[in-house]
Amino acid sequence: MKKKYFINANIIDPKNSLNEKGGLIINEEGKIEAAGKKVNKNNIPSREKYIDVKENYIFPGLVDMRVFVGEPGYEYKENFRTLSNAALSGGVTSVVTMPNTNPVIDNVSMVDFLKRRGRDKSKINIFPTASLTKNLEGTNMTEFGLLQKKGIIAFTDGLKTIQNSRLMSRIMNSAADLKCLIMQHAEDSDLAKYGMVNDGIISTKLGLQGIPDIAEKIIIERDLTLLEEYSCRYHISQISSAKSVDIIEIKKQNLKFSCGVSINNLSLNENDIGNFRTFLKLSPPLRKEEDRLSLVDGLKNKVIDVIVSDHKPEDEEQKRLTFAQAASGSSGIETLLALSLELYHNESIKLETIIQALTSNPAKILRINKGNLDIGNDADFCIVDINKPWIVKKDNLISKSKNTSIDDKKLQGKVTNTFVNGVELFKL
């Protein structure tokens, strides 16, 4: 591979406090040789060709901490190849995959299979999680130690919550000993039972069973109380309400943990559901505008650490049903960055804070050397025209399933190129 020179770019790399006009040099091994203002036309050997980025932005490759892939068992929804192509078009170069497959990722042989498939079929970095409990049943713990040795990055039951407090205390105790990361989907199952949307005026108007925000609050408070006793690496996958933001802000003063938010809950509210739009049936549900604004403030004030796509592909047959019967979730990995940039364009949050929540923060939580432009690190990055207008059309999406929550939405900001290990794998 020839050495590559990129000049005339706006470079943002939160890990290295880099926010300046400059360039990037990629060496013959696909590693970063130099980054920042010191890379310019005057410092490049005269014989060498360079790529003029034309004042577009260079960001580290995005790290998405919550992605559902259909492989194994649900390949008709998404497989590693289609996921990889969709991710690259959105500037995502590393993903954390959930264990909610068929069979469930809960044993060593399944991990071996998953890693082989990810390596053979994917062009991006795949970091698999395993389930906290056998077959996601919430009763018996999986073998954390063995699975971690096989390369499991974290443990989660994905869409399910550990309801049993005794079991959760055992999980946290084991996690503390093994120094492994626990990711919890915070939702009390009894309070959320049969629920489909946020509990309130909209649920009453539509005649749908609601999910109260206290269902989330109760699990967060319980887990953080346990965390005081069993100090382990703990991450709340995604929060959706103002009450949750308030608790987390208080608890972070004395406790060490992290939390994420879905881009859907940052950008949409329950009013967007309109007349039974099943493509907006999500978990956690979209809540009130006051909740959305509180989440934005939480991200702005760094109470919330990470933005995730919560990419959950579903085929149209599973979505075009009655609201009660429709599957929950939306595909969002290729619109994650563009939708996040909306918060910058409407002056809600600084650009650097948004990029930090999409790159270096998730990498820090996961303890992986991704989401940065460190010298000597793999050259995983994307070039973005942050002002380019475009309209989301589900038929133009690369993902195998087209269940986007923002069909026909006007966005500003588009990934033009994505590189992994210095190789261009996506070009607009």
- The answer to whether residue 15 scores a pLDDT higher than 90 is yes
Residue 314: pLDDT band (50, 70, 90) is very high
In this prediction, residues 42-58 reach a mean pLDDT of 90
d(CA 221, CA 184): 12
CATH number, domain 4-58+379-427, options 1.20.1250.20, 3.30.70.20, 2.30.40.10, 3.30.70.141: 2.30.40.10
> Residue ranges of the alpha helices (H) in 150-271?
165-178, 189-192, 201-206, 214-229, 242-251, 263-267
Rounded to an integer, the average pLDDT of 184-212 is: 95
Q: What is the pLDDT of residue 329?
A: 93
**Cβ–Cβ under 8 Å, residues 126 and 71:** no
Give the Å distances, CA to CA, from 309 to 3, 9, 397: 33, 26, 15
Quick check: 344 pLDDT over 90?
Answer: yes
Element holding 20 (H helix, E strand)? strand 18-26
CA dist., res. 314 & res. 404, Å (int): 9
Stretch 19-36: mean pLDDT: 95
Average pLDDT, rounded, for the chain:
95
Average pLDDT value for residue range 220-224: 97
Q: Which residues contact 275 (CB under 8 A, 6 or more apart)?
A: none
Residue 8 has pLDDT above 90, yes or no: yes
Residue 319 has pLDDT above 90, yes or no: no
Reported confidence tier of residue 340, pLDDT bands at 50, 70, 90 = very high
Domain range summary for the chain, segments of one domain joined by +? 4-58+379-427, 62-366
Q: Calculate what percentage of the chain has a pLDDT beyond 70.
A: 100
Q: Give the model confidence (pLDDT) of 132-180 as tens digits.
A: 999 999 999 999 999 999 999 999 999 999 999 999 999 999 999 999 9
Between CA 295 and CA 230, with CA 163 as vertex, the angle to 5 degrees is 80
Q: What is the model's pLDDT at position 116?
A: 87
Average of per-residue pLDDT across 84-95: 97
Per-residue pLDDT reduced to its tens digit, 98-123 = 999 999 999 998 898 888 888 889 99
Q: Enter the tokens of residue 50.
A: 């360079």
Is residue 303 within 8 Å of residue 250, measured between CB atoms?
no
Asked whether the domain spanning 62-366 has the same topology as the one spanning 4-58+379-427, the reply is no
Amino acid at 47: R
Using pLDDT thresholds of 50, 70 and 90, give the confidence band for residue 42: confident
pLDDT of residue 87: 97
Which residues does the annotation mark as catalytic? 310
| Alpha helix stretches (DSSP H) within 237-315 | 242-251, 263-267, 289-300
Q: Kindly tell me if the per-residue pLDDT of 341 is higher than 90.
A: yes
For residue 74, how far is the Cα from the chain centroid? 20
pLDDT reported for residue 384: 98
**Does residue 125 sit in helix, strand or coil?**
strand
* pLDDT of 397 higher than 90: yes
pLDDT at 112: 87
State the pLDDT at residue 71: 87
Q: Give the angle 329-333-338 at the CA atoms, nearest 5°.
A: 115
Q: Give the separation between CA 98 and CA 171, rounded to whole angstroms.
A: 18
> What is the residue type of 171?
I
Q: What is the DSSP letter of 141?
A: B
Residue 232: phi and psi, rounded to 5, are: -120, 175
On the CB side of 174, CA atoms within 13 Å amount to 20
| 283-307 tens-digit pLDDT | 999 999 999 999 999 999 999 999 9
More confident site: 319 or 210: 210
pLDDT computed for residue 125 by the predictor: 95
The pLDDT of residue 115: 85
Query: Looking at the predicted structure, is the pLDDT value of residue 264 above 90?
Result: yes
Q: Tell me which fold the domain 62-366 belongs to.
A: TIM Barrel (3.20.20)
